[in-house]
Structure 1
């Protein structure tokens, strides 16, 4: 029964169109990073990037290397769009994008992580089986259908993303509208809508519409009666996010996902596709179906588990950041911090207060005052720098953070030598202060 449910073939028009939209969007993501100055600000201006811990070997290419890197990514995006050497092109884009994602955290965005996941998904599916150069050159891959699991996979992945995004907003500072108010204050100079964004009713609307949209959008898109009106709401919602928060391709990628919810007839009619319908409903169980099902189970167990892990780590994730990443905790709070790094020579006792501006870009200055993992990395790099000069030093950090413009509280145990402290990947790091320890 489960084989019939997963491997029954359905029309592949939604997947083929999604590949085209996806290819265009990842091309724009790559080339847009060049022309908007993102590469310069994030990868070239800093002396070093703060990579995901364990990936120190991933550093920006010297000179203009990152411009060529992103240009090449864009070329691979074009090849994905037209379906030429599809798997090779998308594999290259996926590897390159993942490397940049792991390379830096100062411009961390959950949507970058989602793009990694969707790239992997698109590598698994026959998205080049039609409307592609590959299909024209090789009749063996040409097909009008795709297994049903393709649609089920993307719908379940979206359900996980949106549900966790909604649940994460269920805390006092969001529910009373103070977080949306803080987020909108920085948008007051926006042309035409700046004043509207400062209105109380706008903050209340964002507060509850954000929760309800994320929680209900996938179920309501699955229901025929609500599909069209919810899609119209989705257009407004994602365009609003695009204009106000300027979060790259994600709003448009989210709209492209809606293709998987609409019937084939509607897709053909709206896009005027000159393509045959596939309605045979043939069940084609692959020889390695057991391995595929094991992969799917593992994938979704991981996707469901990762956003829950902060509940098993001591402390408030809003402050400690432990369990924050890879958890769809999007635009939840405003966080500011102040920090002082003190280097003490173990032999002479000489103390040096670090001028962070000599080491860090403007964006990194904020990150190194609010993110414990970055504080830990910067401390170790200071130790390495002094070690290269033949000096054995300890690094002590006094860091205070404020959540949603609340009172500043101590974040790091200032008595701990952060240059010698260990990093715990899975549980609480004891040098991050909890309320009872402050």
Structure 2
């Protein structure tokens, strides 16, 4: 069985009930463990972030977000991550430019370096999220443990449970994982059994992961935007226009990405690539301001709650955050691209709303995120889901579904923000 495939369909002569019931306990355990690793790394990075951006500069008598400190700290972060990639066994995993949300299990030896590199990047202000490294680490550890503790279970089961549990924890709901896995099912020829039979264990793992996150943290994607109670034709036109324009913005980054990656690869050594990348990120942070640093989730809430941004401010933050995402991923920092892409989409949506104030903020922001994520991830369900949870209003669902159609026509078949092993963009 392919290591990427979801949980197996019932064999001939077996009832679905007999197959599904034994999967419940492993799924719940995997979901909880996946969430705990995510929460632990997030909390550790937040504590280190406070030290680096508040305690240390205060002790030195300088501003935590002064231009000099931003450049120095991001360059130092590049040096620290470069040392991990260079010296730690496993080299912190494969080139992040060639990895997505799902992939084959890594060796457990890779996990410590990958988590250290990711934690340093999250705390140091790098414009990447935790999703890719956490998913890869959970897959590696749970696949290794599962194969030893329950050798009769197929290896693919542990891969999909770890992926589902971590995605459920990351997004705070099992729905995101169900959508990701349902997309994976479309690439499995000759699948047997009902869709919900195949989603049963992943959904259990995702639910356990989401509930663990919900119980232990105050995490939420909801931006508390004013409700759109009765959308009309004008809202539909605005939604399709903003989503399409945002998709074009995201595509610009996708086309630029392989050239930036190739330029950094010419340096050949992580102690050149990552410090240089950190320095460039520091310069970008000075240009865009503190909101354009870090993974972007907390910064998105501050961006939307502050009503005094000019069109110039919003355009600058959109461009700077997109550039920071591209540089961070191209030079070798370990991290995911969804969270910073959400910031790009929110800033773009607010920019569109500043240009045309008649556009409701919920429409502008959700459709901006929808377009950017469609372009950068090429995962339709996840893009729709993420856009919807930013403004969880029933009236928005139809607008987002329709707005996704022209945006998808723009991005389908185009380069993605992910490369193959030869540096060629996936399509």
TM category (shorter chain) comes to under 0.3
Q: When you count strand as a share of all residues, which structure comes out higher?
A: 1
The two structures have a TM-score, normalised by structure 2, of: 0.26
Q: When you count helix as a share of all residues, which structure comes out higher?
A: 2
The two structures have a TM-score, normalised by structure 1, of: 0.25
